[in-house]
Amino acid sequence: MRTVSMAYRLRRRLRPSFSLWLSSKLWRRRLVFWLGAIITGLVCVGFAYMAEYAYAAFLAAEAEWPWAGLVLTPLGFGLCVFLLLRFFPGGEGSGIPQAIAARAFDSPTLRNRLLSLRIGIGKILLTTLALGFGASVGREGPSVQVGASIMLTCSRFAGLGRMKGVILAGSAAGVAAAFNTPLAGIIFAIEEMSKSFEKRVSTLIMSAVLIAAGAAAIVHGTGSYFGRTDAALVEWRDWLAVPMLGIAGGVIGAAFAHGMIAQAKLMPRLMHGWIARHRVLFAMACGLVVALIGYFSGAPINGTGYDEAKAALDGTLEEPWLFALTKLVANLVTQASGIAGGIFAPTLAVGAGLGAVLGDFLPGVPPGAVAALGMVALFSGALQAPITGFVIVFEMTDNHAMVIPLMAVAIIAAGVSRLLCPQPLYHALAGLFIARLRAQTVAPPVKKPVAASTPSAPPPPPPG
């Protein structure tokens, strides 16, 4: 009798689970969500090819006419800002702060001003244009906003709900597909986007990353961007590079973050004056500054910096100190212009140059090792996301011998950066987006006019 009762209770408990798994509505939602992840992976791969071809066209123009950048880059900056203001407002900058800020709003209207298909399409077009005109930007940050926009749109269509978790999943899928690093996409969603582990949406994140990265791998292949390096720290003297680069990356990264936050806070104040009336001209002036830096220094500061990072890993980067300095300044000026484009890849490139600079002071240390350490150090110092930085570089170099040094330099750089810049860069920028949207939605109180000719009502008579 007791056995029959237990079996009956077990069937009662399992019946809702079976009915849930057989629900056509549930499977429709899942299929639409998975379709969004596939689209995200394919779009990000297409975005990567477009960006590479656009930048190759710019390099071809410069090879034919060395002065071409002095003309193309200012005109390109102006065109990008014009199109941004006219057709794609909300698509400026990296795109990661917008994705973080969108999670703070429950209103679909406010979220649509940061994440939408229109903004996603504009992000791809404007970032591709920026690279085609020689801007110092990356496509990985924009891929986060594109992935979040695609997944959010698909989830609305399917009525999935849990929009904050969907934004996380789309952002992770964008990183995974852009860098071809699935694990880094998951870590990025946990460490940088949410700053915590959200158990309820972990399945969403895992499935979105798996499907998006798989779709990207089918088209782009599974190889890492920087190939495979066997460089390692062998002698005890080689390990001196870890604390040295950790401290240097933390200090320089914190300075870069302060510069980005300061100019983001300063720009709204300047928008009330000449810059507000001449946004396109201001962007052209920033483009001219970038072009002049590249022309007179001779350093390859344009584009994402992937080629220069590869050269640093191979030990063939020429004048790394000049490249690191000019590329860092070019990143700041480019972001100040307000065009679309990220800082992920340019930051990694500057870090690789920083590692190559230190390698000159530590003879005998493999160039690939110090370059990889520099990439993680500056990334962790600038963004204060040490796990993401370590995992991205580890997956992009496929070097198991450097796991412990990369982890150590990431922790040191992030710790030093937090002492100098308490607020992480992307979250500080996201806070500015949140404050701006909330200020725009708060309407001033309406005062009712009081007619002077209308006599006031007499006071009521006292009781009794």
Residue at 461 is within a domain: no
Backbone angles phi, psi at 94, to 5 degrees: -70, -50
Phi, psi for residue 318 in degrees, rounded to 5: -85, 140
- Whether 462 is in a domain gets the answer no
Give, to the nearest 10 degrees, the angle between helix 386-397 and helix 367-383.
150
177 and 78 housed in the same domain:
yes
Ramachandran region of residue 315, left (φ > 0), alpha (ψ -120 to 50) or beta? left
371: amino acid identity, one letter: A
What angle do helix axes 344-361 and 241-270 make, rounded to 10 degrees? 140
- Which distant-in-sequence residues (6+ apart) come within 8 Å of 309 by Cβ? 226, 345, 348, 349, 352, 371, 375
Q: Could you list the residue range(s) of the whole structural domain that residue 150 is in?
A: 25-220
Closest CA to 241 of 344, 356, 149: 356
192 and 240 part of one domain:
no
Contacting residues for 321 by C-beta, under 8 A, at least 6 apart = 353, 357
For the entire predicted model, the pTM comes to 0.85
Residue 446 falls inside a structural domain: no
Q: Tell whether 278 and 374 lie within a shared domain.
A: yes
Do 153 and 273 lie in a common domain?
no
Q: Are residues 92 and 209 in the same domain?
A: yes
- Residue at 2 is within a domain: no
CATH number of the domain where residue 56 is located = 1.10.3080.10
What pLDDT score does 32 carry?
78
DSSP label of 185? H
Tokens for 81?
Answer: 């800002």
> In terms of domains, do 241 and 195 share one?
no
Are 192 and 265 part of one and the same domain? no
Select from 192, 220, 248 the last residue of a domain: 220
Structure confidence at residue 210 (pLDDT):
76
Structure tokens at 104: 């703070």
Asked, for residue 132, whether it belongs to a domain, the answer is yes
Which residues of the chain are under the pLDDT cut of 70?
A: 1-27, 158-161, 194-204, 220-228, 268, 270-274, 442-464
Alpha-carbon gap, residue 320 to 358, rounded angstroms: 9
* 299 phi, psi to nearest 5 deg: -85, 145
Torsion from C-alpha of 135, 179, 27, 194, nearest 10 degrees? -80
Residues 386 and 412 in one domain: yes
Query: Where among 175, 194, 220 does a domain terminate?
Result: 220
Output 255-258 pairs: Cβ under 8 A, ≥24 positions apart.
Answer: 255/420, 256/328, 256/331, 256/332, 256/347, 256/378, 256/381, 256/382, 257/381, 257/382, 257/383, 257/384, 257/417, 257/421, 257/424, 257/425, 257/428, 258/420, 258/421
Q: Are residues 257 and 148 in the same domain?
A: no
186 and 251 housed in the same domain: no
Structural domains counted in the chain? 2
Q: Which residues contact 293 (CB under 8 A, 6 or more apart)?
A: 299, 301, 326, 329, 330, 333
Q: What is the pLDDT of residue 147?
A: 92
Last residue of a domain, one of 220, 247, 279: 220
Does residue 297 share a domain with residue 202? Answer: no
5 lies in some domain: no
Residue 9 falls within a domain, yes or no?
Answer: no
Are 62 and 188 in a shared domain? yes
Q: What is the mean pLDDT of the chain?
A: 84
**Concatenated DSSP letters for 98-115?**
HHHHHTT---HHHHHTTS
Is 4 a member of any domain?
A: no
